[in-house]
Structure 1
Amino acid sequence: MDGVGFRYPGRDWIFQGVSFCVAPGSVTAVLGPNGRGKTTLVRCAAGLLKPQEGEVRSDGMVGYVPQAHGGSFAFRAFDMVVLGRVRQIHVFGTPSRGDRVAAIDAMERVGIADLRDRQFPTLSGGEQQLVLIARAIASESPVLALDEPTMGLDLRNQAQILSLLRKLVTDGIAVLLTTHHPDHALYLADSVVLMMGPDDIRTGAADEMLTDTALSALYDIEVQTLDYRQNGLDQRAIITRYDDRLKRREQ
């Protein structure tokens, strides 16, 4: 993304001057408060929205993974994944054997082959999210753009999604995701985009950008990072001072 800016007609800029690159085999996490434009930014990266300023370039198709919100149509999980092949299927065509094989391979890669014949609306939130990720993988896109992939999931399912994304990155896929969890960015991301304001978008290496000062300013609440060692490796964790925020509101 090079100098990208977006706004809806007749409204103020949501963001301007956004520039960063997601390299193959890396993760870039976008963080910011609600309403700051994270989803809009990722949709611009995926080609679903056209920015008014700047340019978005990619070496191939971008697979978009939205937030899982159930579904009103009773598609099988397998059929949902096959939809990821729509760009390879000719107009008025039907999925080929190759398309079906790609869908099966994607489901096996994500670990949900056993959900093949389940109706998508009957799946849990975590299972639905995995189906949507498999759909993006089936498209054979070198870049995945995910909008809050762990939203609404319990800790176990969050860990499953993060572990899966790490595996995809080791295969050379470039991952761009939004998250409300700075600790997920600490665990997964190589670089981050901090959406401080419409004209204040900060980018850089995750270990340099995710500081106490930056996160506290981003969320308007005191945030601290804690360094520790686990299995011989240096690690960092996020601590949020909820009581501090309540005291400031009372004052």
Structure 2
Amino acid sequence: MTSSLSLTTLEYGHDQPLFSPMSIHCHAGEIWAIIGANGRGKSTLLDTITGVLPAISGSVHVSGGAAIVPQSFRPAFAWRVRDVVLMGRARHIALFAQPKREDEQQVMLALEALNIGGLADAPFHALSGGQQQLVMIARALVSASQNILLDEPCSALDLANQQTVLQLISNLAHQQARTVMFTTHDPTHALQIASHTLLLLPDGEWLAGATHEVVQEVNLQRAYGLPVRRVQLDDYACPVLAPLFSIHR
């Protein structure tokens, strides 16, 4: 099944539209980063795409199913890690049926892909925030949805695990031809792996397009309200972004 995700003249928000009508089309194998300042509406957009929040106007069309990785998840019961991930297989298991061996195998494959196979029998609530985030990513993977949406997937992760997750996102798009959309507070993540970027700006404006065109110094300064420089390091293919903080002593 081919993945695709389209927003057509979409207006979204809780009471009033946050932005002018938005139209973007995400195709199989593309990675879309959503970046912008705090409170701009990144998570709200994902909620609108998944139907948690109704659109004010316009439409959302998803082909191939969608799985979302939220910023946090607090189950009501003391689930083991493998049980939390197994929830992602729900649409593949018939009503009142028991999970099959294949379902259990998919769970372990997803955990191993994130280097947390050893946590399979650990209580989910006892994990660190970063470990819980990795478990939720594994849950999305086993769903077999062709569109994967991740809300701040690296926010609670150390540098090594950020590398693991960014590589996984790249693999989902380039090796499995899934469509991936993720929000991030680090525009460098967009430069590293995103083919396309949606930049949410003040005053209800937005920019969308190829990452190398959207993630420019002038656009980032407008979005975040401080100077940002793109820096090209020797022996490193991808530029990095350096915010120029002004600290007074």
TM-score of the superposition, structure 1-length normalised? 0.88
SS in 2 for 1:58: strand
Give the 4+ runs in structure 1 shifted more than 4 A.
Answer: 69-72
> How far, CA to CA, are the matches of 2:136 and 2:22 in structure 1?
27
> Counterpart in 1 of 2:189?
184
Q: Which ranges in structure 1 are unaligned for 5 or more consecutive residues?
A: none
Counterpart in the other structure of 1:118: 122
One of 9, 12, 29 as aligned partner of 1:6: 12
Residues 63 and 143, structure 1, Cα contact 8 Å, conserved in 2: yes
Distance 2:33 2:73 in 1: 21
Q: Which moved more, 1:110-119 or 1:73-82?
A: 110-119
Amino acid at match of 1:116: A
Local SS of the residue matching 2:200: strand
1:106 positional shift? 2.2
Match of 1:42 in 2: 46
Displacement, 1:192?
Answer: 0.5
Q: CA RMSD in A?
A: 2.1
Amino acid at match of 1:207: H
Aligned to 1:219: 224
TM-score by length of 2: 0.89
**Of 236, 241, 245, the match for 1:242:** 245
Q: Which runs of 5+ in 2 are unaligned?
A: 1-6
> What is the correspondence of 1:26-65 to structure 2 with a 5 Å cutoff?
26-65=30-69
Deviation at 1:70, TM superposition (A): 5.6
SS of residue matched to 1:202: strand
Alpha-carbon displacement from aligned partner over 1:30-57 (angstroms, at most 9, x marks no partner): 0111111100111222333221211111
Return the alpha-carbon distance in structure 2 between the equivalents of residues 149 and 118 of structure 1.
Answer: 21
Distance 2:97 2:60 in 1: 30
Q: Quick one: distance in 1 between partners of 2:164 and 2:75?
A: 22
Alignment of 1:1-251 (within 5 A): 1-8=7-14, 11-68=15-72, 71=75, 73-171=77-175, 172-197=177-202, 199-230=204-235, 233=237, 235-243=238-246
- State the 1:90 CA deviation: 3.5
1:195–1:218 Cα contact (<8 Å) kept: yes
The aligned length equals: 242
- Provide the identity percentage: 34
CA distance in 2, matches of 1:139, 1:92: 18
